[in-house]
């Protein structure tokens, strides 16, 4: 194996899957905005807003009146990307742990359902914190924002399932403490 391949093999499968699933989710957002036009396009979500929110959390600010209208924070897009990827990794690890505890193998249906369920996090935690209310009801575009989150998180879940199946030999060997 080459040096890069050796280094990637040393990264735990759930981290690799989490990053790839998060990137797959972002690709789904991009494709949906290109193909679906205004139905899947909004300026009310984005990495810069996630970074601004995370910077606020670090300062102890949990609620905002209008996240979009707040002053930008230096490096907010990079911070948003880091938070987005770490969240994807964490949720992937939760999915893998749930499967492990139940003695089940990953599959596309359960992973997609898990991903769709994770849409509740932005709908019930992030949006209210940003001043948009639950399900973004105060945004003026609640249906669109809910649709975008359901699509993105379902794609995230499907990607968890597909990437986990792709790396299933590695995941099983990590659980058993052996080399893939």
pTM of the model: 0.87
What long-range pairs does 68-75 form, CB within 8 A, spacing at least 24? Answer: 68/43, 68/44, 68/130, 72/48, 75/51
The answer to the question of residue 6 being in a domain is: no
Asked whether residue 2 is domain-assigned, the answer is no
Q: Is residue 7 part of a domain?
A: no
Number of domains in the chain: 1
What is the reported pLDDT for 39?
82
Per the CB < 8 A criterion, the answer to whether 137 and 61 are in contact is no
Tell me the pLDDT tens digit for each residue of 125-156.
999 999 999 999 999 999 999 999 999 999 99
Q: Which position has the token pair 């193998």? A: 105
Assess if residue 5 is contained within a domain: no
DSSP string of 87-123, one letter each residue: HHHHHHHHHHHHHHHHT----HHHHHHHHHHHTHHII
Taking only the tens place, the pLDDT of each residue in 37-67 is: 888 888 888 899 999 999 999 999 999 998 8
Q: Which domain holds residue 83?
A: 14-176
* 8 A C-beta contact, residue 73 and residue 55: yes
Is residue 25 situated within a structural domain? Answer: yes
Structure tokens at 44: 């009310």
């Amino acid at each position: 194996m080459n040096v890069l391949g050796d280094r990637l093999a040393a990264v735990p499968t759930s981290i690799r899957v989490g990053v790839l699933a998060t990137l797959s989710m972002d690709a789904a957002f991009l494709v949906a905005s290109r193909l679906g036009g205004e139905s899947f396009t909004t300026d009310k979500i984005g990495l810069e807003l996630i970074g601004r929110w995370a910077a606020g959390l670090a300062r102890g600010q949990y609620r905002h009146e209008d996240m979009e209208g707040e002053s930008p924070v230096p490096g907010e897009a990079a911070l948003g990307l880091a938070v987005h990827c770490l969240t994807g990794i964490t949720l992937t690890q939760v999915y893998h742990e749930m499967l492990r505890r139940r003695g089940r193998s990953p599959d596309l249906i359960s992973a997609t359902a898990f991903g769709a369920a994770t849409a509740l996090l932005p709908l019930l935690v992030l949006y209210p914190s940003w001043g948009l209310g639950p399900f973004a009801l105060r945004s003026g575009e609640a249906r669109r924002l809910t649709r975008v989150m359901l699509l993105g998180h379902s794609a995230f879940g499907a990607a968890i399932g597909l990437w986990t199946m792709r790396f299933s030999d590695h995941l099983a060997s990590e659980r058993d403490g052996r080399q893939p």
